[in-house]
């Protein structure tokens, strides 16, 4: 059965966006430290540390997108692949053992894995 998986292109674009987020986080920290250095309010000194949050998210997303763009088993929304060729990572992770539907060898109709006869043509299915 074919399933829709994300392509490598969107993941590579996500990697580039993550690098931009890290650079923005660094810029944020530098500018916020320079603005709040002489602030009389002690709470204003925490403002630059929001840049650390942006950097951490950017690094995490960058690693994810890099592995997704270059890995063989990737999570994708755009490429159509066969489930035997590339299993769904969420099913592998969470142990879903639901067997996919199969096709009748006589008429090509969709049948579930536990059917013994095709509901479309009525012929016996091979085991």
- Cβ-count burial 17-40 (b if 16+ within 10 Å, e if not): ebbebbeebeebbeebeeeeeeee
Distance CA 70, CA 14 (A): 12
**Per residue in 66-119, pLDDT tens?**
887 777 666 655 555 566 566 666 566 666 555 556 778 888 888 877 788 888
Distance CA 18, CA 66 (A): 10
pLDDT value of position 41: 80
Model's pTM, two decimal places?
A: 0.52
pLDDT value of position 1: 44
Average pLDDT over the chain, rounded to an integer: 78
For residue 73, give both structure tokens: 């088993």
């Amino acid at each position: 059965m074919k399933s829709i998986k994300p392509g490598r292109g969107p993941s590579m674009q996500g990697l580039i966006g993550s690098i931009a987020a890290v650079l923005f986080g660094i810029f944020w920290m530098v500018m916020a430290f320079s603005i709040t250095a002489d602030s009389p309010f002690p709470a204003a000194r925490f403002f630059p540390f929001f840049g650390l949050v942006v950097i951490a998210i950017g690094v995490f997303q960058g690693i994810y997108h890099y592995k997704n763009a270059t890995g063989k088993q990737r999570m994708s929304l755009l490429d159509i692949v066969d489930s035997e060729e590339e299993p769904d990572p969420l099913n592998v992770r969470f142990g879903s053992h639901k067997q996919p539907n199969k096709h009748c060898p006589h008429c090509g109709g969709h049948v579930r894995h536990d059917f013994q006869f095709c509901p479309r043509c009525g012929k016996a299915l091979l085991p």
